[in-house]
Structure 1
Amino acid sequence: MSSIRISHSKVPKFLVYGSVMLFASICMLLFAEITFAHGYVEGPASRAALCKSGQNTDCGAIIYEPQSLEAPKGFPATGPADSKIASANGAFPKLDEQSATRWAKVNISPGQNTFTWKITANHATTSWKYYITKPNWNPNAALTRDSFDLTPFCSVSYGSKQPPSSYSDTCSVPVRSGYQVILAVWEIADTPNAFYNVIDVNFNGSNPVDTQAPSAPTSLTSTGKTSSNVSLAWNASTDNVGVTGYQVFNGSSLVTTISSTTLNYTVSGLTANTAYTFSIKAIDAASNVSNGSNIVSVTTNAPVAFDTEAPTAPSGLHVMGTPTSSSIQLMWNASTDDVGVTGYPIYIGTTLVTTVSGSTTNYTVTGLSASTAYTFNVSAIDAAGNQSTTSTVNGTTAIASSTPDWAANIAYTVGTLVIYNGSVYECRQSHTSLNGWEPSNVPALWLLK
């Protein structure tokens, strides 16, 4: 009877184990880099942002995560492949569908325009670059490098700093006519990736150019102050097309530009016992700027000597009511302090959303993505800048009301949400639906949410 002998490898086991551990560590680092930073252009609204708002339709899963258009950096030498530029290398293939009429367009004029990014997770940044299609590009062909002028019309170095939650660049846009595409690129400093957003714009086309500025913000007030911070709040502006952001001014100096969904801001880094004047202006997608709001004069508090005791953490932090698809209301119990609580900083994860006054114990966080889980942290601060430990609560936004009903003979992709018999299902495997394959009948294809 013959036998088979299995020989033992001469490679020591510790080398095998070591190689496995090294490979696992590299994978963890690579995946960690991919998930750190996210953001998208909300003014002038990008293709993905208009998908999120519903002005673009049949967009696929990008409606739930317009901030995730991430691909290797180094455009045009590297980066997303030709024909996959709009989808960040094919991650969201619907965005690569290209024709002269496929996408909604934002009216724009040559010259000075402000591009505003909504940063949902900030990260060390190398640069911001903006490219535009050539005058003779073909709007009915897939976007490739040959579609664009590969010298950016605007390039802003950022020195590996972390941007705020709303970041803007004011750039001089070249002269063009008709339908053009602007490619905005946010390069991350310490990962191999960048974020790619295409913006469909119309130069003096069949749609009239928007020259009407928004109304001025009203009822600007100071809602709290410390020796180094002043918190502001105001009422929303209106516009014939839509407000895309608000500019916050300290005197005549622009402090920051924030998104149109935010109606408050805390100016920090101020000098104690010093008088300041603040005002707000609204901007729209065509970079029209409103008149200034009323001016608020505030004198920061005198420095508080010898106060080193932090307030207690806000207790009872919870989600109040039912979240919507874009907002979650938070509520907590007041903190105590040996001198006095002056404010409550509110964070999504580690990103500061705003700081409300010390007399406020609730806040509605807006501008969130539908069907998304968030972690909120709230702490208390006093006039000396002492900050309490944080209280944490988790909340998940509601499904977007635009979720379609399931139907037969439709090509569904992984992650697509549908409604069937009043319940929401998520596609688990790409397929074309058939009668009899209703979500409740085929759990291998659909996950009940």
Structure 2
Amino acid sequence: MIPIPSRRHGPGSRRCPALLVTAPASGQGKTTVTAALAHWHRSQGRRVRVFKTGPDFLDPMVLERASGAPVQQLDLWMGGEAHCAELLHGAAAQADLILVEGVMGLHDGTPSSADLALHFGLPVLAVIDASSMAQTFGAVAHGLATYRPGLQLAGVLANRVGSAGHAQMVRESLPAGMAWYGALPRGGHYALPSRHLGLVQAGEVDDIAERIAAAALALAEHGPLPMPPAVEFGAPPAATADPGAPASLAGVTIAIAQDAAFSFVYAANLEVLRKLGAQLCFFSPLANEPVPQGAHALYLPGGYPELHLQALAGNATTRESIAAHHAAGRPLVAECGGMLVLLESLRDAAGHEAPMLGLLPGQGAMSDRLVNLGMHSLALPEGEVRGHTFHHARIDTRAPAALHTQARRHHGQAEAVFRQKRLFASFMHLYFPSNPAAIAALFKP
């Protein structure tokens, strides 16, 4: 738990109905419920903005489809209180409803979803998987509501109920006065498929729109869904960044790999680059497109290169253009999957191996187990940058590490950072808003 300061709102505050969707643990159905709520309210003509608590690339892809608007991260450590306040304040000016999907369980992590709810006064909707559960459902709901003083529980929703009778049983177990948001039946068409890093990317699920609509229909089957109470979002504090930073990438064109193999990019990262003055252009290594002509810097984000080994290995145009970019001494920032592609070879979980770019000596291999997970910071000469790591891959390289990240969790595993000429590569996913000036230095020619 982290201490929660009192909220003080003054001139410039904005009010908007808001709800944080949480659960006792991961895998309870938070994304499905948040997407269903966003879709249903949008179908009623409301403007909906959705946020995701903590680091995540996959859930926001689904939530963007449901809400029709970009989904950004809210994390009190990774982005900071002022950054979160700015995002919520801006959303309140545009939206009729703000939804925030929590991370893991309500009280998991430091800061937790509960910390975020308390800090901004967000009412909480608890999604509880009712599978193999009866009256204990009410005890779990009671615990979520009362564990942290001051937490405002807006209601409870039962997921994966076996029948109408089962739904009624768990509803009757709720403490008196606790609001019921309804239930979703087990085995509905709206289930979202998963793979080793989480949900399958929304663009790979052909019927994603139908799944989201089906969940919304099931949720609203017994009548209109309630609107949560309005929350007052205070104006964010005045910016304290270096006044020279906003234009520090003026005139710089940054090429960004973007396709099914390179898709783990925070919307906030792109926004920071644009605010710094950079021009962004996108290309697809899977389509064998070259680094766009005239690009001064290159960004290879994470994704799923291990699912596209043969395509990446065979695309000579992309490979040669990235190698030429690096040989010319231009900035190249590679994160996680982007770094794996820089190695000499990469092997997937089934043992299939293919040659990669060879700009970093060594090999990468996918593991059937999670290798590292957690929030990390990195002390660069230009200042500290924050972010996270989450991967099932290991690398065996002869390249010396120039730096190591600092895991925020006690006894957490640090990540190596490789720097050769203007190449910067690590398993760490950088969150650019944590230090725009330091990010500008990585991309500046």
Q: Give the number of the structure with larger relative contact order, counting CA–CA contacts within 8 Å between residues 6 or more apart.
A: 2
Larger radius of gyration: 1
Give the alignment's TM-score, normalised by structure 2.
Answer: 0.27
Give the alignment's TM-score, normalised by structure 1.
Answer: 0.27
More helix by share: 2
More strand by share: 1
